[in-house]
Amino acid sequence: MAACSSSSSSEEEITLKVKWSGKEYTVRVCADDTVGELKRRICESTNVLPIRQKLLYPKLASKLNDDSLLLSQLPLNLNNSSLKFTMIGTTEEDLIVDPVDSPEILDDFELPQQEAVDIKDMQVNQLKLTRRINHFKVEIQNPCRQGKKLLVLDIDYTLFDHRSTAENPLQLMRPYLHEFLTAVYSEYDIMIWSATSMKWITLKMSQLGVLDNPNYKITALLDHMAMITVQTPSRGVFDCKPLGLIWAQFPEFYSASNTIMFDDLRRNFVMNPQNGLTIKPFRKAHANRDSDQELVKLTQYLLAIAELDDLSHLDHNKWESFAEDTGKRRRHK
């Protein structure tokens, strides 16, 4: 049995068997992974999204519904090489229903400062990041550009109101999206990272005209498979988007000093809090379409900080005042 690390038995790699649709799949996880992480690994082999999966194991059905449970908390003999689960689930291609979207999360939180520092520095989370780097390959759609900074964008409630209804997806697009992407593309490579599946990221971005726009290019798309699960004393278990995955795969282009991520949920950048900017959520598109100016103001901010050699010392919580001060200085020149 391979090992993720020799420092703890909970970090040893465990080989499980998963039976689905008449076939048997080998899945490798660690005891410090969650049920949700197990489902993510199963998705890598079967293309059945975690939200579509129902895992079966004698006397454990209810516990396997809790994605936040650590595998080490389950009454399983994890050293048993013949450990076998059954999975029931359907791939998106075989469904005749609306696509699964990311869950509604309104209870975002801010971790205590020391706890936030601990998360990114904890060995167990660094090991999870290393495993994700080894398992997930970022597919480049357009070449990385030397000398450009990196902007990583969420979709739901950042670029798009995914809960409102409309006859045309363009009605739910955040105002000034194309103008924003066109302007910042001069200084930034752009990646899209959403907690949904790659199929629906591609579909949404295509419907909004983002993937074939002549004025800018999207460098890469990342989905929920690139995320990792972390655990905190105050907030339990949740998924996040570790920018270290991108930096590890493209070290000659991107690093902590030239990357910024926009997300409406600050929990998504707990592994790299210095690089995250919490954007105001874009909800109720029909009512707010004429008043939302967030991307206009953020354009000014991104272009202002693009002049800096190192972004890692900025406090992005104060981005609005920074943008206003920069605008005033330019007007008085």
Does the predicted TM-score (pTM) go above 0.75?
yes
The number of folded domains in the chain is 2
44: CATH: 3.10.20.90
231-247 tens-digit pLDDT: 777 777 788 999 999 99
> What pLDDT score does 229 carry?
87
Q: Which residue has the higher pLDDT, 119 or 98?
A: 119
The helix-helix angle for 319-331 and 294-305 (nearest 10°) equals: 70
- Which of 42, 57, 91 corresponds to the end of one domain? 91
In our burial notation (b when 16+ CB lie closer than 10 A, e otherwise), range 2-20 reads eebbeeeebbbebebebeb
Q: Are residues 121 and 75 in the same domain?
A: no
C-alpha to C-alpha distance for 56 and 115, rounded to whole angstroms: 35
Do both 20 and 147 map to the same domain?
A: no
104 belongs to a structural domain? no
Q: What pairing do the DSSP bridges indicate for beta strands 188-193 and 13-20?
A: unpaired
Nearest-angstrom CA–CA distance, 225 and 194: 10
My answer on whether 74 and 139 are in the same domain is: no
Adjacent-strand bridge partners of 236: 232
The pLDDT of residue 193 is above 90: yes
Range of the domain at 39: 9-91
Query: Does residue 66 sit in the same domain as residue 151?
Result: no
Cα 32 → chain centroid: 20
**CA dihedral for 37, 41, 44, 49, sign (positive or negative):** negative
How high is the pLDDT of residue 87?
A: 95
Q: Tens digits of per-residue pLDDT, 70-95?
A: 888 888 887 776 789 999 998 866 65
Check residue 98 and give its pLDDT: 47
* Whether the predicted pLDDT of 192 surpasses 70: yes
Q: What are the pLDDT digits (tens) for 264-314?
A: 999 999 999 999 999 999 999 999 989 999 999 999 999 999 999 999 999
Higher-confidence residue of 41 and 262: namely 262
> Does a structural domain hold residue 107?
no
Would you say residue 97 lies in a domain? no
Does one domain contain both 270 and 121? Answer: yes
- Domain containing residue 128: CATH number: 3.40.50.1000
